[in-house]
Structure 1
Amino acid sequence: MRLLRNARLHGREGAYDIEIDGDRFGRVLPAGQGSGEEWIDARGGLVSAPFVEPHVHLDTTLTAGEPRWNASGSLWEGIAVWSERKRALTRDDVISRATEVLRWYAANGVLHVRSHVDVTDPGLVALDAMLEVRERVRDVVDLQLVAFPQEGIRSFDGGADLLAEAARRGVDAVGAIPHFEDTREDGVRSLEIAFEVAAEHGLMLDAHCDEIDDEQSRFVEVLATLARRTGLRGRATASHTTAMGSYNGAYSYKLQRILARAGINLVSNPLANLCLQGRFDGYPKRRGLTQVKEMLAAGVNVAFGHDDVMDPWFPLGTASPLQVALVGVAAAQLTGPAEIDEAFAMVTERAARVLGLGDRYGVAEGRPASFVVLPAASRFDAVRRQTRPTHVVSRGRLVAETPATSTRLTWPGEDPRDIDFVRDRDR
């Protein structure tokens, strides 16, 4: 038995000891009452279940500027640039880039990742490479793969067959992109096909849905209705849904009821979509995000994801979930203390619900001993100061450490001192 001591836990007063029994959590006890070999001293830092990435494209990461930059910054040019880049894909190319970004994720405390993989490639090069990556990293990162038809199911020749083949090869979820299909009828049919494939293979569903500023793009109501009628409640996710930022009040009210009743998840990607959306607007320019606050209030599960890390759609990023949470706070106007705590939940337990992790996630006796130690007093503090984990543990094994750092300030008339950006009253 090993001991994690002197930890803060969200929603609980005081400090705690957490016993680690092999690769599982043991008892959680008031500080000083735990037993076992002292292993990690949290020093009063916040101990949390690991961060969760509910939406990224690992097969496209680290390709920004290849073969050219996305000059317009639009979603559509990004797709065109990627269509050119994927002709040069090789197994080693995909494995190398994806694995490197997964190292970044682990260093940031992200131990569960859902990655979409483009399957509009007759050779399925990226998919086969990502299936191999999933096996290579399984001792550290739990990686889910979504078969993503980037260029459409109906609008790409053989798209439906490729989606079905991806399911047979062992993905975890089936995707779609209905707003990109040639017609609305094709978009609806593409969702029907995706649900049929998911049902046949017992998979989850995660569709890129209404990632456009067109207020007439309303495929999320179709996805939600199919989820409710086919029994995929809780196992279906609509990602992006940026057209919600353009819906009128009357339709939005109706939609909240439809989504809440269907029990689907929503994933908003504030970093990428703040950049991609509104590109065809003059001023005022729309934010181009889903209705985060409204859907949370309606009881819909909403999570925050990266979407892109240095690729044709977003040229920046370090795979930091707290950066995503911070941008989400600003973009969705989640500025109340409880709302900022909620933003933290959107990259932890709410994102875990998207992945269907259930009792495989959380700091509780008997669950996998995967966690992060943050040098922060609270979730609010972690988001505000963008604190890096001092320790990242995956199933009882320490996989990343970040040494404590400080800034030494010499100020006129004062002795030199360290600056940690903490308010005096919060110490």
Structure 2
Amino acid sequence: MTTGFAALPNSTSCRLANARVPACLVDAASLASDRDGLTLVDIAIGDGVIESILPAGVASLEECPSFDLDGGIVLPRLVDVHTHLDKGHIWPRRRNPDGSFMGALSSVAADRETNWTTRDVRSRMEFGLRCAFAHGTSAIRTHIDSLGPQIGISWPVLAELRAEWAGRIALQGSPLFGIEAVADAAHMRAVTDAVKAHGDRLLGCVTYMIPELEAALDTIFRIAMENGFDLDFHVDESNDPAARSLESIADAALRHRFSGRILAGHCCSLALQQPTDEARILAKVAEAGIAVVSLPMCNMYLQDRQAGRTPRWRGVTALHELKAAGVPVMIASDNTRDPFYAYGDLDLVEVLREGTRILQLDHSDRDWAAAIATTPAALMGLPDHGRLGVGGPADLILTRARDWIEFFARPQAERTVLISGKAIDRTLPDYRELDHLMSTDA
């Protein structure tokens, strides 16, 4: 038996001994877990498929190549349910002038108007996919800016990349535009047609408090129901307690008896509600079956930013309270190297690591790993992703960390990613590859 990572699997059949896995991600109810929610197992892989997950030391490991992971944490490849691949990596040519939300909106709008050709969007989206793949992501949902001529540019690119990346990353797309555009019937026809032709039966928009909000939500719910679409909203990305469009979405879902999946992203202002208002909204969200994804790194970057003033809150939603109310909760990457978030690399290990700090997920439930794995996979309709199960693909992330403290203390840059039991090349793309797209006059 080989100890540690001195040698890595080079075939699709092997045994991984003494792997420490999150019990919440394993399809094996009989496995006992420790105080961190981790359990020590041996994983048998045959022809790229997980053949067994058994308590460590129970089965013989001599019949094929075996690797002793010495208690290192093993995760399934992970699921990123909220990203913006089409915006990614434009920072060098279009910075956020002041780090504010409005600064991000105006900078992205100007860059989209000037630069978002088929070649540009495709190059940047593919760069992002290469980063996510190297870090160990198996599925991504990206929002696609869907305004005017951009609809005809970005959606065909998404369809091409989805086909090209099949088997490496499952790629979904959801349209993105402001809620006021719902009143434009021609726009909604164009978006609906693009989703039907190139998309994944998803519809969505950015919601905020406008006088026509209820009517606009009725329209978008009606279109979704007529076409069998699920819904994915950007919601209340604000520190204004009066921003309560999440409650309006829940009301609309209940009013229409909507049976599809609904995901609400951000929901920042929920954390600033008075207790009675928060309780009412949480109850409606749970009753409506809405799931919520928090984007901790991006929202801490944007929210409560004022020049010369230290921020007073972290910008994130009431994730613990949502979870306690029975709402499925997730965290995700959001933006990368663009005016909405200057940093990031579509690395869900980083998202969980930083999300644990920002949202104080420690000293809490032991199943938060599900927020970047099984929970978003279920929301995306991908039951084989984000979990460790017999008969499932041996798509794994191997680390040397033996508990969550070791895991979060370092970036896990030396992790190994397996697909069908074989280690992949984790070399990240060089930012210089995008230099030809970055004009200095923007």
Q: CA deviation at 1:394?
A: 3.0
* Correspondence for 1:10: 22
Q: 1:390 aligns with which of 415, 423, 431?
A: 415
* Correspondence for 2:432: none
Letter in 2 for 1:316: Y
Q: 2:284 aligns with which of 219, 242, 258?
A: 258
**Percent identity (aligned):** 27
Report Cα offsets for 1:369-405 as digits up to 9, x if no partner: 3221121113443223332363212344533458xxx
Report Cα offsets for 1:327-385 as digits up to 9, x if no partner: 3223223331x44x444332222332332323544111122332211211134432233
* Correspondence for 2:440: none
Query: Is the 2:91–2:339 Cα contact (8 Å) retained in structure 1?
Result: yes
Query: Is the 1:244–1:290 Cα contact (8 Å) retained in structure 2?
Result: yes
Correspondence 1:287 to 2:314: yes
* Correspondence for 1:168: 196
2:314 and 2:302 map into 1 onto residues whose CA distance is 10
Report Cα offsets for 1:220-240 as digits up to 9, x if no partner: 122223334545557110001
* Correspondence for 1:352: 377
* Correspondence for 2:297: 271
* Correspondence for 1:19: 44
Q: CA deviation at 1:155?
A: 6.6
1:398 and 1:375 map into 2 onto residues whose CA distance is 15
Q: CA deviation at 1:153?
A: 2.4
Q: CA deviation at 1:34?
A: 5.2
* Correspondence for 2:3: none
2:392 and 2:258 map into 1 onto residues whose CA distance is 25
Correspondence 1:178 to 2:178: no
SS at match of 1:37: coil
Q: CA deviation at 1:63?
A: 0.3
Q: 1:202 aligns with which of 200, 223, 228?
A: 228
Report Cα offsets for 1:105-149 as digits up to 9, x if no partner: 112111111111111132421222122111111121111111122
Specify whether residues 138 and 359 from structure 1 end up closer, same or farther in structure 2 by C-alpha distance, changes over 3 A only.
closer
Letter in 2 for 1:4: R
Query: Is the 2:14–2:421 Cα contact (8 Å) retained in structure 1?
Result: no
Report Cα offsets for 1:5-40 as digits up to 9, x if no partner: 212222345643222233432122244525653265
Specify whether residues 46 and 327 from structure 1 end up closer, same or farther in structure 2 by C-alpha distance, changes over 3 A only.
closer
Query: Is the 2:135–2:426 Cα contact (8 Å) retained in structure 1?
Result: no
Correspondence 1:246 to 2:257: no
Letter in 1 for 2:204: G
Specify whether residues 155 and 395 from structure 1 end up closer, same or farther in structure 2 by C-alpha distance, changes over 3 A only.
farther
SS at match of 2:372: coil
Query: Is the 2:182–2:219 Cα contact (8 Å) retained in structure 1?
Result: no
What is the TM-score normalised by the length of structure 2? Answer: 0.81
Write out aligned runs for 1:53-132 (5 A): 53-66=80-93, 68-87=94-113, 88-124=115-151, 125-132=153-160
* Correspondence for 1:159: 187
Q: 1:217 aligns with which of 243, 252, 267?
A: 243
SS at match of 2:166: coil
The count of aligned residue pairs is 396
1:381 and 1:146 map into 2 onto residues whose CA distance is 36
Unaligned runs of 5+ in 2: 1-11, 24-31, 34-38, 428-442
2:353 and 2:145 map into 1 onto residues whose CA distance is 28
What is the TM-score normalised by the length of structure 1? Answer: 0.84
1:83 and 1:177 map into 2 onto residues whose CA distance is 15
Q: CA deviation at 1:192?
A: 2.7
Larger RCO, structures 1/2 (Cα 8 Å, 6+ apart):
2
Moved more, 316-325 or 35-44: 35-44
1:362 and 1:74 map into 2 onto residues whose CA distance is 37
Letter in 2 for 1:169: A
Query: Is the 1:344–1:379 Cα contact (8 Å) retained in structure 2?
Result: no
Query: Over the residues paired in the alignment, what is the CA RMSD in angstroms?
Result: 2.6
Q: CA deviation at 1:263?
A: 1.9
* Correspondence for 1:420: none
Letter in 2 for 1:3: C
